[in-house]
Structure 1
Amino acid sequence: MGGTGKTPTTIELVRRLNDMGKNPCVISRGYGGNTAGPVMVDIRKHTADDMGDEPILMAAFAPVCVARDRVLGAKLALQNGADVLVLDDALQNPSLFHDLTITVVDGAVGFGNGRVFPAGPLREPTETGLSRSDLVISIGGMVAIDGPDAVSATLDPLQTGMDWQGLRALAFAGIGRPEKFYKTLRDLGADVVQTRSFGDHQKIPEPLLKRLLTEAQAMNAQLVTTEKDAARLPKAWQQQVITLPVRLNIKQDAKLCALLQGLF
C-alpha cells in the first residue's frame, strides 16, 4: 500500500533510461493532487496541491504526466516526445500493456501478514501480483519469494556535502514508513531529539509548521524532512527545512540492465 520505495525506484529507472539515450516520461495518477489531467507537470508553476508530491519530486529527473486515465496520459506523453513510458504504481492497472513489470518490496517487512487490505498491507494476493512481475527489487533486505527474479537494493543518502554528525534534528515525515527516515538520520550521526509522523502524503498546514519550528527552536534543533515531504511544503518554508535526499542503489544489477536493454 505504501512505503516500499516505489518513487526512488522510478527515479532510478528514468536515470538509467536517460543514460541509454531514451526519452522516458513518467505517467502518474498524481495521488494527493487535485488535477485529473492529462497534463504535463511544470515545476515552475505547479505545486504538490495541484499534482501530488510524487510528480513534483520526479519532475526534477524526467518529464512527468499526471493523468487519472493512464491511456490519455500515455497519448499526451508521446505527443511530448516520450519514447518510453514509466508507470509508477500501476501493477493493478490493466489499461496499458506492460512490456516490463517490476515489483518493489520493503525487504525489512516483506509482504507483512500476507493479507489484502484492509486485513493487511496488500492490494492483491502476492502470488497474483508476482505472476505478472518480471523482476522484484527488495529494498533494505532480501525477501524470499517464489516466482520472478529478485535483486536486492538499498536507499542510500545522497552525498550533498551536508555534515549530519551531531546535528540536533526535529525530524518529521508523512511517508509510508517514517521510521526508516528517522533511522537513516541517526545512522548518519544526527541527534534526532524529536520526531513527528503524519499520514502518507498528508499536507502539513502552516500553523502546524510554525508550531514545529517553535518546538525545534526551543530544543536548539533544526527541522529535517524527506524529499517527498519537502515537495509538499509551501515555497516560503522550503528554505527553513533541511531535506535528506536518498537514491536507490541496486546490488548486482545485471538482471535489471538486461531487462532494460531487452526492451529495445
Structure 2
Amino acid sequence: MKLNTPRWWYTRDARHGAAARTLLRPLSWVWAGVTARRIARAEPVDPGVPVISVGNLTVGGSGKTPVTREAIRLLREAGIDAHGLSRGYGGSLREPTRVDAAIHTAADVGDEPLMLALGGPTWIAHDRVAGARAAAAAGAAIMILDDAHQNPTLKKTLSLVVVDGETRGDEWPFGDGSVFPSGPMREKLRTGLSRADAVVVLLPADAPGVDPELLAAFGDLPVHVARLTPAAPPPRGPILGFAGIAKPWKVERALDAAGAELVDFAPFPDHAAFRDADLAFLADRASRFGARLVTTEKDWFRLPPEWRTRVISWPVKATFENEAAFQALLLGAVRTYSAR
C-alpha cells in the first residue's frame, strides 16, 4: 500500500487527528466488515506441505519480512527445505514464479521477495494457493508466508503475528485501536489475535525491553521477542539517509542509535518508486554536506540500476532473544503437520 503513514495513527490520544478519524470512521467499518466476511467465508486449501504464516495486524511497518527471512533461515539450518511465498506486491508478475535476484527486479516481483530470496528459495504469486502448490511441486518441504494473516486461502499449520514493540511516549503499535483508514489496524486487535498461535514482538536494537502493558494485550498467547539489529554497521563519515517504508522515521532513529553521522534524512511513501529527479535532488543535497547516500535494503532494491552504485544499502535483521525457542516453535509446526 503506497501512502504516507500518518503519525497520528500510532498515538493513543484520539485527539490527535480527531477530524480525520471522525471523517474516516465509516470507511473503517466497511473495511473491517469486508475483511471479516472474506475470512469467515473462505475454505482454506491444504497445499500438501505445512504452512507457517507470518503476518501482522496493522497496515505495514511491523517487521514481517525480516522475521520471515529469519524463519526461513532457522528451518533451513535445521535441514528443512523451507521456501518463502509472497504476493509480490508492487511487481508485475502474477503467475507463480521462483524469485531470482540475478534476473528479476522489484518491478517484476516486488522489493520484499527480493529480500527474502537472499535467505532461501522464494516464490511470488497473486494466487497464494497456486504459488504454494508450485513450490511444493518444486520440492519445498514447508512454506513460510509473508504477510498472510488476513489471507485465508491456505490452511495454516502455524500463524505468527509480528508486532512493532516500540511504545515510546504516547506512540503505540495499535494507535487507539481504530481500523484503517481511521487508524493503523487491518482488523480489531482481539479478532486478529484470536487466529494467532504466537506473537513476535520486534523491538529496536536499543530498546530496554517489552512494555508490560503491551505484553498484557496478548493474553495467554506465547510471545517471542526479537530485535531489529544492523546486519552491518552504518558507513563511516557523513551520510544522508532516505527511506520509502511505512514508518520511515524508524530508519532515522535506527541510524542515529547505530552511531551514524546523519546529516539529513528524507522520508518517502511506502513502496515509493524513486524517480531520477528525487535521487538527483538527494545526491545534490548530500554533496553539499560531503555525505554519502544510504537507504534500507528494501528501498535499495527499488532503485534504478544506475543508482545502485551511488547509494549504500544498510541491511538489518531480526535477532531473537531466545533463538532456540523460536526455532523449536517452527519445527513444532513440521511435526504437527506430519502427525495429522
Out of 71, 96, 116, the position equivalent to 1:58 is 116
Residue 63 of structure 2 corresponds to residue 5 of structure 1: yes
Residue 190 of structure 2 corresponds to residue 127 of structure 1: yes
Aligned partners of 1:6 and 1:104 also within 8 Å: yes
Out of 211, 215, 218, the position equivalent to 2:281 is 211
**Displacement of 1:254:** 4.6
**Displacement of 1:158:** 1.1
Q: Tell me: CA distance 1:58–1:20, structure 2 relative to 1, closer, same or farther (3 Å).
A: same
Residue 103 of structure 2 corresponds to residue 45 of structure 1: yes
The corresponding residue for 2:308 is 238
Aligned partners of 2:234 and 2:314 also within 8 Å: no
- Report the 3-state secondary structure (helix = DSSP H, G, I; strand = E; otherwise coil) of the residue aligned with 1:101: strand
Residue 192 of structure 2 corresponds to residue 192 of structure 1: no
Amino acid at match of 1:250: F
Amino acid at match of 1:168: P
The corresponding residue for 2:238 is 168
**Displacement of 1:82:** 0.7
**Displacement of 1:222:** 0.8
Paired residues for 1:1-264 under 5 Å? 1-108=59-166, 109-140=172-203, 141-142=209-210, 143-144=214-215, 145-159=218-232, 162=233, 164-165=235-236, 167-262=237-332, 263-264=334-335
Aligned partners of 1:175 and 1:201 also within 8 Å: yes
- Report the 3-state secondary structure (helix = DSSP H, G, I; strand = E; otherwise coil) of the residue aligned with 1:86: strand
TM-score (norm: length of structure 2): 0.74
- Report the 3-state secondary structure (helix = DSSP H, G, I; strand = E; otherwise coil) of the residue aligned with 2:129: helix
Aligned partners of 2:71 and 2:327 also within 8 Å: no
Residues 18-45 of structure 1 deviation map (CA, whole Å, 9 limit, x = unaligned) = 1011111111111111121211111111
Q: Which runs of 5+ in 2 are unaligned?
A: 1-58, 167-171, 204-208, 336-340
In structure 2, how many angstroms separate the alpha carbons of the residues matched to 1:260 and 1:58? 17
In structure 2, how many angstroms separate the alpha carbons of the residues matched to 1:117 and 1:147? 26
Residues 197-249 of structure 1 deviation map (CA, whole Å, 9 limit, x = unaligned) = 11111110122111211111112111000000001112221111111111111
Aligned partners of 2:75 and 2:331 also within 8 Å: no
Aligned partners of 1:174 and 1:200 also within 8 Å: yes
Aligned partners of 1:131 and 1:147 also within 8 Å: no
Amino acid at match of 1:31: Y
Runs of 4+ aligned structure 1 residues displaced above 6 Å come to none
Aligned partners of 1:169 and 1:190 also within 8 Å: yes
The alignment-based identity, stated in percent, is 43
Q: Which runs of 5+ in 1 are unaligned?
A: none
Q: Tell me: CA distance 1:163–1:205, structure 2 relative to 1, closer, same or farther (3 Å).
A: closer
Amino acid at match of 1:130: L
